Amino acid sequence: MNYKPIIVTAGDPESVFYEIFFKSLKKKIFLSPIILISSKDVLLRNMESFKFYKKIRYINVINIRKLTLSNNTINLIDVKLKTSKQIFKNKRYINDYINNCYELAFNLIKKKFTNKIITGPINKKKFLNKKFLGITEFISKKFNNKNTGMLIYNKQISVCPLTTHLPIKLVSKNITKSMIKNKINLINSFYKNVLNFKPKIAVVGMNLHSESILKIKEDEKIIKPIINNLKKKNINVNGPFSADTIFLKQNRKKFNVIVGMYHDQVLAPMKTLFEYDAINITMGLPFLRVSPDHGPNVEMINKNISNPISLIRALEFLDKI
């Protein structure tokens, strides 16, 4: 078993992350050392708020390879952030802080210190500022890797949207044969190389019931030929299936992954089935990046009722890899 450290970036300082992080450490013992990248001040404030008492071990990045790490303490890399309410309202200051956390984590990854990272939830609208569709694309750009994909993973069934945060009217314009082929190959490689088995993949159609009354029939002209081609290459993929029935219980039993044409086509049923019991994995990176399958959820801050299961699953996943 490879117990390389798991780097955790805390994400947005105004989020439910610290609550679910503390709950995760209370509920589960993890064998891989966990290194938290966060502001010390924000961490201490939340520890006091949630009455979570654990020693903090401050980690110097320069000497990090020489350290023997354990989870008896919180292993913290402190990133400076003032905690006054006035500072928290400063979007630019917060974005600089989040970016500094990412840069520290990415440098440790690039220096081969570890290959495991969990990114805490952030406000994508504020941080990405329309430059990227999502954090998947942001991290992919940082590592100059265009062939990546989002996998919302659960042991029972997982989903992969071909397009992520695009408006519906732009989806059909962005679906290409090469995109479908690359994503299915990516899923197949990820399952074989990381999870050690060959997946059964279902692809849903673009249109209702995988049919179209228009001259352009994406399901017949684009999707089906690619699936037939990949089947000849010994990839276990089938479709296109109607999106309104593929998630029925008897159908879910036949597959490991369901590939959708757009974000909510597969994420909406996935979250209905499993709620927070799923994790977001970025496939195609030279390391394992996972995040809890939820956002900062600012409405729930300091209410102590947030569900930690997604972060627990993320830590469990990397703990076993």
Q: Which domains are present in the chain?
A: 1-145+285-321 (3.40.718.10), 148-276 (3.40.718.10)
Q: Is the pLDDT of residue 91 over 80?
A: no
Binned at pLDDT 50, 70 and 90, residue 61 comes out as very high
Does residue 296 have a cis bond before it (omega within 30 degrees)? no
Q: Give the Cα separation of 200 and 235 in Å (integer).
A: 8
How confident is the model over 83-101, as a mean pLDDT?
80
Q: Please report, in angstroms and rounded to a whole number, the separation of the first and last CA atoms in the chain.
A: 7
What pLDDT shows up at residue 240? Answer: 94
Parallel, antiparallel, or unpaired: how do β-strands 201-204 and 116-119 relate?
unpaired
Question: What residues contact 175, with CB distance under 8 A and at least 6 apart?
Answer: 162, 163, 206, 218, 222, 261
Neighbours of 108 (CB within 10 A): 22
User: Rounded to whole angstroms, how far apart are CA atoms 319 and 50?
Assistant: 25
Tell me the pLDDT tens digit for each residue of 198-256: 999 999 998 765 554 444 567 888 899 999 999 999 999 999 999 999 999 999 999 99
* Side chain identity, residue 85: K
pLDDT band at 134 (very low <50, low <70, confident <90, very high): confident
Pairwise CA distance, residues 274 & 272, whole Å: 6
pLDDT at 214: 45
Query: Residue 93: what pLDDT?
Result: 86
pTM here is: 0.93
pLDDT band at 282 (very low <50, low <70, confident <90, very high): very high
* Average pLDDT, rounded, for the chain: 91
209 near 267, Cβ under 8 Å?
Answer: no
How much is the pLDDT for 258?
98
243 versus 1: the higher-pLDDT residue is: 243
